[in-house]
């Protein structure tokens, strides 16, 4: 069956050579400037400016502050804690051996992380990357003692561009890479080249959220709404200025012989300057029938004049809905629901839960990216230092990357969402544990943010002995002993 008009369309295309490019009618979008599809090329020569504008937005625009801070607070919070679960099958060990080794390793890792303040630095690295695009972590070594120094991505010389060199390497936005865009290092603004890995050891880490293939620098979280946010900021300033003007001018008068306000102010200043001490107030009283009032002053009140009361119209009735609309746009652009940005949730459980579920998917993906890019290299270097110093026994650790990952297997735990309806949600988690769909340690983490379940269990048993939750049956204490 031939669609009516189809042959005519084909005839027009044959004549004009038109092809579909997002237009309803060919030519509708002529003159619309478009960006290149290269994730790096469209930021050449403007990356630093884009970064600085995004940082300025963070410091001056509340919705941008809210989006960056909420993403950071939920994804990283006070710092992600590592819980070790070595893959004893790959290592050829027993489950009991793995449990004991994990406890020893966790204690050593937490001490090292606290020594270099890595928990707090995690939040700084994550927030900085969202603010300006990317952040850096340097590994500073004194023998096998490692210190971690966090830096903003702005130390990278984004203006450095080099075509193919003799060794087949390129430099894009200050990042050195091969023809496959595998990043090898970066040039800082002093011209120094810093390798990400040197002699098999981690030397530096660049963290950013990768959104496109071949992307070598990060994009600030709010980069897409800079112009929108700035115009919204201007709108807010204009509304505030109008409201202030309306609040200062309560009434105005009409008169056949009005006096220029500037002339009146000049005359006031002249009399105040030339008046003798103690006569300034009298001059103010006499001049122009001026009277001091409580919050303000009424000037130039002429007799036989008409008095008009100023109608307060700022902000107008649509101001609040307009601001909500703007926050909706910011939320869509940053992957942060507007309810989360404003910390203002619906009273309906499903709406509240739905907003948090959407947000959880977003910040959990960002958390996983942070773990892979930053946390795992830090954990690996910490383990290597412990082994070399003789503080950790890990046979076969240096044999292969597979063995290293088996030793360093585990999970990183951060902030949880909390509860909207505690009783209902805790019952659901308890049911999941009963049906063996969730472990007790995971349940404790979700309900109370307990990251060290072993220590929690020990403390729980101790408290239970001192303060039994239920009355013990006869002979139960004897059986325990």
Least confident of 135-149, 160-174, 220-234: 160-174
**What are the residues facing 309 on neighbouring strands?**
251
pLDDT top residue among 242 and 299: 242
Q: Output the six-digit token pair for 1.
A: 């069956």
Nearest to 170 by CA among 160, 162, 182: 162
DSSP 193: E
CA–CA separation, 86 and 101 (whole Å): 8
Q: Which residues contact 161 (CB under 8 A, 6 or more apart)?
A: 44, 171, 172, 173
CA–CA separation, 92 and 406 (whole Å): 10
Residue-by-residue DSSP string for 34-89: ---S-TTGGGTTTHHHHHHHHHHHHHH-HHHHHHHHHHHHHHTTT-PEEEE---HH
pLDDT at 168: 85
Please compute the mean of the pLDDT values over residues 259-278 and round it to a whole number. Answer: 59
Q: ∠ at Cα 233 (43, 362), nearest 5°? A: 55
Residue found under tokens 């290092």: 185
CA–CA separation, 6 and 187 (whole Å): 57
Reported as a pLDDT band with limits 50, 70 and 90, residue 465 is confident
Most confident of 205-214, 305-314, 354-363: 205-214
Please compute the mean of the pLDDT values over residues 259-274 and round it to a whole number. Answer: 60
pLDDT at 2: 46
Tens of pLDDT, residues 345-384: 888 888 888 888 999 999 999 999 999 999 999 999 999 9
Reported as a pLDDT band with limits 50, 70 and 90, residue 481 is very low
Nearest to 100 by CA among 85, 113, 80, 110: 85
For residue 263, pLDDT beyond 80 = no
For residue 216, pLDDT beyond 90 = yes
Nearest to 213 by CA among 351, 29, 38, 425: 38
Q: Which residues contact 416 (CB under 8 A, 6 or more apart)?
A: 445, 446, 449
């Amino acid at each position: 069956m031939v669609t009516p008009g189809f042959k005519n369309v084909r005839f027009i295309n044959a004549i004009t050579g038109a092809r579909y490019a997002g237009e309803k009618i060919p030519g509708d979008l002529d003159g619309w400037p478009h960006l290149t599809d290269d994730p790096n090329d469209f930021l050449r020569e403007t990356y630093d400016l884009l970064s600085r504008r995004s940082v300025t937005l963070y410091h001056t625009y509340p919705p941008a502050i809210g989006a960056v801070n909420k993403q950071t607070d939920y994804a990283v919070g006070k710092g992600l804690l590592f819980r070790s679960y070595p893959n004893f099958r790959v290592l050829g060990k027993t489950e009991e051996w793995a449990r004991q080794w994990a406890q020893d390793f966790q204690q050593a890792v937490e001490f090292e992380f606290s020594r270099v303040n890595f928990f707090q630095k995690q939040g700084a690295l994550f927030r900085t990357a969202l603010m300006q695009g990317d952040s850096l972590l340097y590994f500073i070594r004194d023998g096998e003692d490692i210190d971690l120094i966090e830096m903003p991505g702005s130390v990278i010389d984004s203006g450095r561009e080099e075509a193919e060199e003799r060794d087949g390497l390129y430099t894009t936005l200050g990042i050195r890479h091969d023809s496959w865009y595998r990043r090898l290092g970066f040039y800082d603004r002093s011209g120094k080249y810093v390798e990400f890995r040197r002699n098999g050891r981690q030397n530096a880490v660049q963290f950013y959220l990768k959104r496109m293939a071949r992307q070598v620098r990060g994009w600030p979280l709010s980069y897409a709404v800079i112009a929108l946010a700035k115009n919204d900021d201007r709108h807010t300033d204009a509304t505030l200025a109008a409201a202030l003007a309306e609040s200062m001018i309560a009434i105005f008068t009409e008169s056949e012989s009005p006096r220029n306000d500037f002339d009146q102010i000049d005359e006031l200043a002249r009399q105040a300057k030339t008046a003798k001490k103690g006569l300034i107030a009298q001059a103010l009283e006499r001049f122009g029938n001026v009277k001091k009032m409580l919050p303000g002053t009424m000037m130039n009140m002429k007799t036989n004049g008409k008095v008009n009361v100023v109608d307060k119209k700022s902000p107008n009735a649509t101001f609040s809905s307009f601001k909500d609309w703007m926050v909706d746009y910011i939320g869509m652009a940053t992957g942060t629901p507007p309810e989360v940005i404003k910390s203002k949730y619906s009273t309906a459980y499903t709406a509240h839960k739905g907003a948090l579920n959407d947000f959880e998917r977003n910040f959990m993906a960002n958390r996983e990216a942070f773990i892979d890019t930053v946390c795992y290299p830090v954990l690996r270097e910490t383990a290597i230092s412990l082994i070399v110093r003789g503080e950790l026994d890990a046979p076969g650790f240096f044999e292969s990357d597979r063995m290293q990952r088996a030793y360093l297997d585990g999970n990183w735990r951060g902030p949880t969402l909390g509860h909207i309806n505690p009783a209902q949600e805790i019952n659901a988690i308890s049911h999941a544990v009963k049906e063996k769909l969730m472990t007790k340690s995971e349940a404790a983490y979700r309900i109370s943010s307990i990251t060290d379940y072993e220590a929690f269990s020990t403390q729980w048993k101790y408290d239970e002995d001192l303060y039994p939750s239920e009355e013990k049956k006869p002979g139960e204490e004897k059986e325990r002993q």
